[in-house]
Amino acid sequence: MQPDYEHLKRPPYSSTSRNESFSAAFKGSCFCQKVQFEISKDRPLDAKFCHYSTCQQLHGAPFQWAAIFEKTDVRFTKGTDLLIYWNAGEATREYILPCKVSCDVCRTPIMDEGRNMLMLFPTLIQFQSSEERRNFYPSCHIFYSARVMDIQDGLPKFETHKGGRQIPEVRESEDRIGKVASLVEPRCVQHSD
C-alpha cells in the first residue's frame, strides 16, 4: 500500500506534468520495466561522472553517471507506486530530499532527486543511436579525489564539486599503455550536497 505522499502529486511523479507542451524525446525504465518514465528534452542541462564514495556504495559501481534535468522535463508513466527512497544523510527510507529513487521490485537506481533538480541515470534510457547518447556524455568528473581508478578521457576532473579545484589527469607511463586505469589509494571526501 503506497503511503499518501504529497510529492506524488507533482513532477516528475504526477500526471499533472502531462501538459500539452510535454513531448517525449526519450523513454526509459528500470531493469524489470515496472517503472517507466519519459524525458521531454533531447539533452540534459549537464551530465557528470560522480566518484563520491556514497555513490560507489549505493550503485555497486566505481562511479556514477548522472544527467541533470528540471523536474518538469521528466515524467513517470508507470510504477510510481513501486518507487522507494533513500536519504543517505538521514539514513532513512522516508521521502526526504535529497534522496535516491529506486525500483522496489528490481532495485535499479533510477535517479537522485535534489531539492530543485533531478539527476537521472542515462543507462536506463532507450537511446536509438550513438548520436543521441553522445548528448548525455559527461562534461566532467566530480569528487574525483574519492576515485577508485584513474581515468584518461581528457575531461576536467574536480576534487569535489564542478568549478572547484581540479586534479591533473595522470598519464600512464609507456610500459602501462594499453591499460585503461590503475587503482589508487582509498581516500575520503565530504559530500556537501
If the CB atoms of residues 52 and 86 are measured against Zn ion, the closer one turns out to be 86
Tell me: does residue 106 bind Zn ion (CB under 5 A).
yes
| CA–CA gap between residue 75 and residue 67 (Å, rounded) | 15
| Spatial strand order in the sheet of 74-78 | 26-29, 36-39, 74-78
DSSP structural state of residue 83: E
**Residues 125-154 close enough to bind Zn ion by CB under 5 A:** none
Judged by CB under 5 A, how many residues of this single chain contact Zn ion?
6
Q: Is 129 exposed, middle or buried (0-12, 13-18, 19+ CB in 10 A)?
A: exposed
Identify the residue whose cell numbers are 537521472: 120
Name the strand (E) or helix (H) holding 54. Answer: helix 53-59
Binding mask 12-31 for Zn ion (x = CB under 5 A): ------------------x-
Instruction: Report, in Å, the least distance between residue 103 CB and Zn ion.
Output: 3
Interatomic CA distance for residues 12 and 59, integer angstroms: 22
Q: Which of residues 85-104 bind Zn ion (CB under 5 A)?
A: 103
Shortest separation between residue 135's beta carbon and Zn ion, angstroms: 25
| Minimal distance, residue 108 CB to Zn ion, in Å | 5
Peptide bond into 12 cis (omega under 30): yes
Is 105 one of the binding residues for Zn ion (CB under 5 A)? yes
Site string for Zn ion, 34-63 (x = CB under 5 A): x-----------------------------
Q: Which residues here bind Zn ion, judged by CB under 5 A?
A: 30, 32, 34, 103, 105-106
